[in-house]
Amino acid sequence: MPVKELRYDKMVEDALRSVVRDSLSFAAEHGLPGDHHFYVTFHTHHPGVALPQHVLARHPEEMTIVLQHQFWDLEVAHEQFAVTLSFSGKSERLVIPFSAVSGFADPSAKFGLQFQAIPGDDDDEVDDMEVEDLGEAAAPSDSAAAKPEDGEDGKVVTLDRFRKK
């Protein structure tokens, strides 16, 4: 079948997802230096995502995890990563394909990427990306799973919180 067009959007998305992969690979091999920590937002029902059922019940569409002090056994492959986090004092293994990731941020470096669906692209699940400057608003967290703000039990922390206004 002949190629109809060059899909630069896919090429750029793949390149930007490799930033996420390389950052996680660095952390898996060397740990996180200084104040670096990662917020990883992903679609929980994306094919290949493996989450405990009780976690999926609390985050039925999207979830943000924080990789800072309390994460273990981070393993990174070309198509996905796996990490063990603590939920209510119990260690749980998560498997997340890079194609499920909708956002990545390192607030200490004021760096972030956001991946969103391309409007009108019905032939596959390609995402578009937006590079973000996070500004000074990001605050470190010591927890493995992103915590909702007081009075917001069960809500997912999104990267919108860290955008400059």
Q: What pLDDT digit, counting tens, does each position of 73-105 carry?
A: 999 999 999 999 999 889 999 999 999 999 999
Query: Please, are residues 86 and 29 in contact by the beta-carbon 8 Å criterion?
Result: no
Higher pLDDT, 124 or 105: 105
Query: Please, are residues 88 and 70 in contact by the beta-carbon 8 Å criterion?
Result: no
Task: Judge whether 162 lies within some domain.
Answer: no
Domain containing 65 — which CATH number? 2.30.30.220
Q: Measured in Å, how far apart are the chain's first and last C-alpha atoms?
A: 46
On the question of pLDDT at 51 being above 60, the answer is: yes
Query: Please, are residues 94 and 100 in contact by the beta-carbon 8 Å criterion?
Result: no
Which residue in the block uniquely carries the two structure tokens 């999926």? 56
Task: Judge whether 116 lies within some domain.
Answer: yes
Task: Judge whether 159 lies within some domain.
Answer: no
| pLDDT at residue 115, rounded to an integer | 86
What tokens appear for 58 in the block?
Answer: 């609390």
Domain extent for 73: 8-134
Q: How many CB atoms neighbour CB 4 within 10 A? A: 6
Query: Please, are residues 145 and 65 in contact by the beta-carbon 8 Å criterion?
Result: yes
On the question of pLDDT at 116 being above 50, the answer is: yes
On the question of pLDDT at 155 being above 90, the answer is: no
Task: Judge whether 38 lies within some domain.
Answer: yes
| pLDDT at residue 133, rounded to an integer | 38
Task: Judge whether 17 lies within some domain.
Answer: yes
Average pLDDT estimate for 14-18: 93
Average pLDDT estimate for 14-19: 94
Give strand pairing partners of 86. 91
| pLDDT at residue 86, rounded to an integer | 92
Higher pLDDT, 123 or 136: 123
DSSP per-residue codes, 70-94:
SEEEEEE-SSEEEEEEEETTEEEEE
Mean of all residue pLDDT scores within the chain: 78
What tokens appear for 19 in the block?
Answer: 């930033």
Q: How many domains is the chain built from?
A: 1
Task: Judge whether 156 lies within some domain.
Answer: no
pTM metric for this prediction = 0.70
What tokens appear for 139 in the block?
Answer: 């605050």
Task: Judge whether 2 lies within some domain.
Answer: no
Containing 55, the helix (H) or strand (E) segment is helix 53-58
| pLDDT at residue 157, rounded to an integer | 41
